[in-house]
Structure 1
Amino acid sequence: MLYKLNLEHILFLDIETVPLHENFTHLDETSQQLWELKTQYQRKDEFSPGEFYDRAGIWAEFGKIVCISVGYFKMQGETRNFRTTSFYGDEAKILKEFKQLLIDYFSSVKHLLCAHNGKEFDFPYIARRMVINGINLPYKLDLFGKKPWEVPHLDTMELWKFGDYKHYTSLKLLAHILGIPSPKEDMDGSMVKDVFYKEKDINRIIDYCELDVVTTAQVFLRMRNEELLTEDEIKKV
């Protein structure tokens, strides 16, 4: 099935998220109580709600999106290019611009969205934050009433499971075992909060996010047993 998909019909994406506020004390009293209840199972007795707040970015109810990076293939004869771009700034602006991209260029039935662990994280997170920001969901994220085979989403982690529901494999590990060259990264996901709030270096976050988009596309190519992208084929637009 993967071999039959047109690469130009797939939008690869990745998101970077942070807690809604820099510190737990910035939450109002009700939000603090709800955070304590939401995370009691994950925290157990090891962390207080405040100590655990650094991880708030992984929950759409207590986090926000600071960057959405996307990548897509463009074929011109024998020439293959992979173009990347990013949306950043105010969260509502990010979501509206991303939605407009979907409407303008990836709204047909043939179009698919692809992310690593996207079905568990990226796709629902974007949809939830759109609802919270009062933005109507675009067709590609509105799954109400859709049958499983009608959902226009691809997930490289799910593809790697091959039906195994228990299995989790990080993008970094999958790229390593598939022989995909790892670009030099000066950060990882656990550092995004501090880079955003303390260093205020959104460009560093964008670079990191776009690297994950490229790696996801490389994993997808390997799963189709195709040649990996070269540096010359990757274009930032």
Structure 2
Amino acid sequence: MITQKINDSIYFHKTLIIDIETVPLSGDWHELPEALQKHWLHKSGFLSLNEAEKTDPAYAFRNRAGIYAEFGKIVCIGMGFITKQDEKHVIRLKSICNDNEQALLQEFCDTLHSFERQHKDVLLCGHNIKEFDIPYICRRLLINNMPLPRTLDLAGLKPWQVVHQDTLELWRFGDHKHYTSLDLIALVLGLPSSKSDIDGSMVGEVYWQNGDLERIAAYCLKDIYTTALVYLRLKGCKDIYPEAVYA
């Protein structure tokens, strides 16, 4: 049985919970360079598209491109870490939003470097972070000609050498047959949902049609908070229910 003290020292203070919100590179398919359009047509040929997407490449691009780092970009990164404040656990939450992806990534890297200076071995945590968030951030850093922070430089490591905490991986218990959403895990564990007026499939529309980064950031931080609660439960800390504190 892991004691409260060990949980605090190992899993809390050096664990940075992150989540990213991504959108297609352009709100209009016709504004894409011709070469990128051709690559998208090739890529989309391997996707399970619905009938409307099959007949309209622009529609397919709007719906699908945001999840691929070659055809999308990051518009928001949410972060949170669990700590103690006035003898009670809280999760401190912060979001970074910017239309300029390079500026957004630089601010994220600066924040991560600051966290690395405070903690020798930083652990990143998130839902499906190993297959989506971390690779996406790394690819977009390289596309923007930016260096990888130490915490994200995972090249050459075996899967079991990557110590970052993935709540999807923890929930699977070795079963890799299917994906389980964060919202579903939270529901069956009796934890509050991260969903509100939007979900991940709507982020591109909210961004390109409404330009509402504030709404996207609020959704992202709800995901961070729910991830923290799920992570604590999966680590056996069922009596810890931290209050959200927003930066």
TM-score, reference length from structure 2 = 0.89
Q: Does 1:100 align with 2:113?
A: no
Residues 84-138 of structure 1 deviation map (CA, whole Å, 9 limit, x = unaligned):
0011111111111111111111364432000100111000000000000011000
One-letter amino acid of the counterpart of residue 108, structure 2: F
Q: For 2:232 and 2:167, locate their aligned partners in 1 and report how far apart those are by CA, in whole Å.
A: 10
Aligned residue for 2:129, secondary structure, equals coil
Number of the residue aligned with 1:91: 101
Number of the residue aligned with 1:190: 201
Q: Does 1:59 align with 2:68?
A: yes
Contact 2:14 2:123 in 1 (8 A): yes
Q: For 2:194 and 2:23, locate their aligned partners in 1 and report how far apart those are by CA, in whole Å.
A: 23
Contact 2:183 2:195 in 1 (8 A): no
Task: Report percent identity of matched pairs.
Answer: 46
Residues 172-220 of structure 1 deviation map (CA, whole Å, 9 limit, x = unaligned):
1010001002266111111111111111111000000000000000001
Contact 1:71 1:84 in 2 (8 A): yes
Contact 1:112 1:154 in 2 (8 A): yes
Contact 1:103 1:138 in 2 (8 A): yes
Q: For 1:98 and 1:152, locate their aligned partners in 2 and report how far apart those are by CA, in whole Å.
A: 20
Q: For 2:25 and 2:194, locate their aligned partners in 1 and report how far apart those are by CA, in whole Å.
A: 30
Shift of 1:74: 1.8
Q: 2:167 aligns with which of 140, 152, 156?
A: 156
CA spacing shift, 1:62–1:75, aligned 2, 3 Å: same
Q: What are the residue-to-residue correspondences of 1:1-150 with 2, within 5 Å?
A: 4=7, 5-43=10-48, 46=51, 47=54, 48-54=56-62, 55-76=64-85, 78-89=87-98, 90-106=100-116, 108-150=119-161
Post-superposition, which runs of at least 4 consecutive aligned residues in structure 1 deviate over 6 A? none
Contact 2:195 2:222 in 1 (8 A): no
TM-score, reference length from structure 1 = 0.92
One-letter amino acid of the counterpart of residue 70, structure 1: M
Q: For 1:79 and 1:28, locate their aligned partners in 2 and report how far apart those are by CA, in whole Å.
A: 53
**Unmatched 5+ residue regions in structure 2?**
none
Aligned residue for 1:83, secondary structure, equals strand
Q: For 1:177 and 1:124, locate their aligned partners in 2 and report how far apart those are by CA, in whole Å.
A: 28
Residues 31-66 of structure 1 deviation map (CA, whole Å, 9 limit, x = unaligned):
110100111011568313222111100000000000
Q: Does 1:169 align with 2:180?
A: yes
Of the structure 1 ranges 152-161 and 70-79, higher mean CA displacement relative to structure 2 is found in 70-79
